[in-house]
Amino acid sequence: MVFGQGKEGAAPEPVIYFRPGLLIAVTLITILVVGLGSLWKTLALRAGGRTVAESLDGQLLSPGSGDIAERRLLNVVEEMAIASGTPVPPVYVMQEEMGINAFAAGFGPDDAVIGVTRGCMEKLTRDQLQGVIAHEFSHILNGDMRLNIRLMGILHGILVIGLIGGVLLRVGSYSSMSRRRSKDNGGAKIALVGLAIFIIGYVGFFFGKLIKAAVSRQREYLADASAVQFTRNPDGIAGALKAIGGYAGHGTLQSSQAESCSHMFFSHGKKKSFIEFNSLATHPPLHDRIQRIDPSFDGSFPEIDEDHSGVGDSEKSVGFAGSKKRSRSVSPPQPKAAAVTPEQLTASIGTIDPSRLSYARELVAGLPEALRDAAREPYSARALVYALLLDTDHEVRSKQLDHLAVSAEEGMHAATQELQQVLSQVGRSARLPLADLAMPALRQLAEERGVAHCGADGKTGETLVKTVLAPMFAARGLKVHAWQGYNMLGNRDGEVLRDPNHAAAKIQHKDDVLRGILGADSGHHSKVRIDYVPSLGDWKTAMDFIHFEGFLGARMSLQFTWAGCDSALAAPLVFDLVRLAHLSAERGEGGVMEHTACFFKAPLSGGSHDFHDQHLRLLAYAASCQR
């Protein structure tokens, strides 16, 4: 408080600079503006990775593409997805971007997309491309994508303060110029207020960028190390980084959105300005990244010119699956029993075992060409799924085909029969990977035709209980240290899932549920084992042990056993989904049926795995249908 000059003969009037009420009001308004700006940006990104890819002018790559470079890219992504047990993500290519770069975006594995520049797709060798994709899958598996999108939302909210200040500054300056001959200085005051808000907003944005850059740099080091662990080929990712250093365009993108998405890219996605220093860099220097992978690196980069192509002559001549000759066998490789044990598999959740990656590559290469092509083309992918669903019993299969001939589109019956004959020649182990490979094409078809679609892997037993119990632990602040699960299956599911390579996707989905509710960084130990017990028939049993910590560090545990009839649990779920899909069709709705999340381990809508939250979304949808 200071004293100003008062009227003649009067005591000076105090001038109060600190006004708690004003401070509180300004603080609340600032929080409100930042919150609303962040909320708007987060809602704009609600569709997940697709929104980010399209904002960068990415074009969805057709699963049936015949271009050699595109086909090679799709193969690498498919192999990585099969090896990691995650859904095959849609792939977007930024066709006009010749810089060597890539990104992964989304809220989780179920809505993730992979984006690559044309330069990345064409100028890298297969091993280098695999290193880049492995790096991006590390971001998918470690939960980095959700953090990246949250950072985009928060930074946009802070930026809004600066944008408002800029608008006030321009309005005030214009008003002041138009009234410069009058004594009214209201415009100048507005301009000064705008300038102050502008400075405050951009100072906040500056420090926000510092935090974003620091977080991003550490995650990049981790993803580089994970890529080496996944592929067991340090030369792959190191070679990709060296290629970026040796190419004139480096990893630079021309998109106007490159700045806001800079922390998502494989390497620096924008040119470094003259005022930018290392603390604002979202990626570590190329030299440092390479030396961590290849200590012998001497700092020299290979020269990569505009005409350079990473697609080898052998790949052009023998096909797209890899540089080795395509297997003539119509059966995919059968993994050795000792190659991957259930214990090794469950211990590697959130990672990609090199043996599974090798298996996935051989499996994709060994599939009959007719099945591979069908899985990647939207129309044929439907016939492939129909063929996968045909019963082994001749009488039942005939009834299924008769129904298909009457109800399906023209040509679908014949296509299904043709693919069924090819399927009869492959082992049962190829069926689940084929269904996974067909998902991107089926989703593309559904989106093109505006057809409602839902998710993958129904939630009927152990995972259903997890999505009910886990929120209770989180809500009460009970720290879960371990959640161990043991499953015994007796039907065809058990027969297929006893192979650890096929169980990977289901176990990944089960673990994603816990990570999504308890937090990816909660540090809890989570394992699930699946065994085949033929005598159980259509029944399944799950036994779970939860070790948790309560008040004053007291360690406690909860155990439950779930025994249920698989068909009796799944049938009502299927009936409900059919009715809901029919209702959506009658209402003219298309796209992802977000209200069906409670039915799936891997809902396409993403979002919370909390069953209560998911069920409320279903009830809200039902209420909206009655209005």
Could you write out the DSSP letters of every residue in 560-618? EEEEEEHHHHHHHHHHHHHHHHHHHHHTT--EE-GGGGGGEEEETT-S---HHHHHHHH
Identify whether residues 494 and 414 lie together within a single domain: no
Lowest mean pLDDT among 212-216, 248-252, 392-396, 471-475: 212-216
Identify whether residues 485 and 539 lie together within a single domain: yes
Lowest mean pLDDT among 36-40, 224-228, 297-301, 531-535: 36-40
pLDDT value for 555? 94
pLDDT value for 248? 86
**305-325 average pLDDT score:** 59
**39-50 average pLDDT score:** 72
In a domain, 419, yes or no: yes
Looking at 250, 278, 293, the residue that finishes a domain is 293
For 344-371, write each residue's pLDDT tens digit.
Answer: 444 444 556 666 777 777 777 788 888 8
Distance of CA 178 to the CA centre of its chain: 52
In a domain, 254, yes or no: yes
Q: What is the pTM of this model?
A: 0.66
List, by residue number, the catalytic residues.
136
Where b means 16+ CB within 10 Å and e means fewer, 497-523 reads bebbbbbbbbbbbbbbbbbbbbebeee
DSSP state of 335: P
Lowest mean pLDDT among 44-48, 368-372, 478-482, 509-513: 44-48
pLDDT value for 343? 47
Identify whether residues 411 and 503 lie together within a single domain: no
Lowest mean pLDDT among 22-36, 201-215, 363-377: 201-215
* Furthest C-alpha separation in the chain: 112
pLDDT value for 351? 56
In a domain, 485, yes or no: yes
Structural tokens at position 49: 């990775």
The tally of domains found in the chain comes to 3
pLDDT value for 615? 93
Identify whether residues 477 and 563 lie together within a single domain: yes
pLDDT band, residue 339 (cuts 50/70/90): very low
For 126-155, write each residue's pLDDT tens digit.
Answer: 999 999 999 999 888 877 777 777 777 777
Rg over alpha carbons for the chain, rounded to the nearest Å, is: 28
For 513-548, write each residue's pLDDT tens digit.
Answer: 888 888 767 778 888 888 889 999 888 999 999 999
**579-590 average pLDDT score:** 89
Q: Which of 254-258, 298-302, 339-343 has the largest mean confidence?
A: 298-302
In a domain, 120, yes or no: yes
Lowest mean pLDDT among 277-291, 374-388, 467-481: 277-291
**596-619 average pLDDT score:** 86
Please, are residues 362 and 339 in contact by the beta-carbon 8 Å criterion? no
pLDDT value for 313? 60
Three-class SS of 510-543:
HHHHHHHHHCCCCCCEEEEEEEECHHHCCEEEEE
pLDDT band, residue 335 (cuts 50/70/90): very low
Q: Got the DSSP string for 435-452? A: HHHHHHHHHHHHHHHT-E
Q: Which of 83, 437, 82 is nearest to 230 (CA)?
A: 83
**110-119 average pLDDT score:** 89
Q: Which residue has the higher pLDDT, 292 or 426?
A: 292
Q: Which of 392, 505, 388 is nearest to 438 (CA)?
A: 388
Q: Is the pLDDT of residue 19 over 80?
A: no
Please, are residues 136 and 73 in contact by the beta-carbon 8 Å criterion? no
**293-319 average pLDDT score:** 76
pLDDT value for 328? 35
In a domain, 316, yes or no: no
Residues in the chain: 627
Structural tokens at position 582: 């029919």
Sign of CA pseudo-dihedral 412, 415, 421, 425: negative
For 364-423, write each residue's pLDDT tens digit.
Answer: 778 888 888 888 888 888 999 999 988 888 899 899 999 988 888 888 989 999 998 888
pLDDT value for 81? 85
- Which is it for strands 2-3 and 91-94: parallel, antiparallel or unpaired? unpaired
Backbone φ and ψ for 498, nearest 5 degrees, come out as -70, -20
Structural tokens at position 218: 């550490």
pLDDT value for 177? 57
**283-293 average pLDDT score:** 89
CA angle 219, 220, 223 (to 5 degrees): 85
Lowest mean pLDDT among 167-171, 328-332, 357-361, 362-366: 328-332
Identify whether residues 404 and 465 lie together within a single domain: no
* Alpha carbons 444 and 153: distance in angstroms, whole number: 27
pLDDT value for 454? 82
pLDDT value for 18? 60
Identify whether residues 397 and 480 lie together within a single domain: no
User: In Å, how far are 393, 454, 471 from 408, measured between CA atoms?
Assistant: 21, 21, 43
**172-183 average pLDDT score:** 57
Sign of CA pseudo-dihedral 389, 390, 393, 395: positive
* Alpha carbons 251 and 235: distance in angstroms, whole number: 19
Q: Give the H/E segment covering residue 509.
A: helix 500-518
* Alpha carbons 547 and 558: distance in angstroms, whole number: 7
pLDDT value for 430? 76
Identify whether residues 398 and 419 lie together within a single domain: yes
Q: Is the pLDDT of residue 39 over 80?
A: no
In a domain, 197, yes or no: no
Identify whether residues 473 and 614 lie together within a single domain: yes
Looking at 255, 273, 293, the residue that finishes a domain is 293
pLDDT value for 12? 63
Identify whether residues 478 and 611 lie together within a single domain: yes
Q: How many CA atoms lie within 13 A of 75 on its CB side?
A: 26
Count of other CB atoms within 10 angstroms of residue 611: 22
Kindly report the CATH number assigned to the domain that includes residue 81.
3.30.2010.10
State the chain's mean pLDDT as an integer. 79
In a domain, 358, yes or no: yes
pLDDT value for 82? 80
pLDDT value for 13? 61
- State the helix-helix crossing angle for 144-178 and 186-231, rounded to 10 degrees: 160
Please, are residues 120 and 133 in contact by the beta-carbon 8 Å criterion? no
pLDDT value for 187? 60
Structural tokens at position 244: 């970026």
- Which is it for strands 14-15 and 2-3: parallel, antiparallel or unpaired? antiparallel
* Alpha carbons 302 and 281: distance in angstroms, whole number: 24
Identify whether residues 402 and 424 lie together within a single domain: yes
* Alpha carbons 205 and 157: distance in angstroms, whole number: 9
How much of the chain exceeds pLDDT 70, in percent? Answer: 79
Containing structural domain, residue 542: 458-625
Lowest mean pLDDT among 71-80, 230-239, 521-530: 521-530
Please, are residues 243 and 304 in contact by the beta-carbon 8 Å criterion? yes
Q: Which residue has the higher pLDDT, 187 or 31?
A: 31
Kindly report the CATH number assigned to the domain that includes residue 469.
3.30.360.10
* Alpha carbons 214 and 204: distance in angstroms, whole number: 16
Identify whether residues 108 and 141 lie together within a single domain: yes
Q: Which residue has the higher pLDDT, 440 or 247?
A: 247
pLDDT value for 548? 95
Identify whether residues 443 and 494 lie together within a single domain: no
Looking at 248, 264, 293, the residue that finishes a domain is 293
In a domain, 489, yes or no: yes
pLDDT value for 347? 46
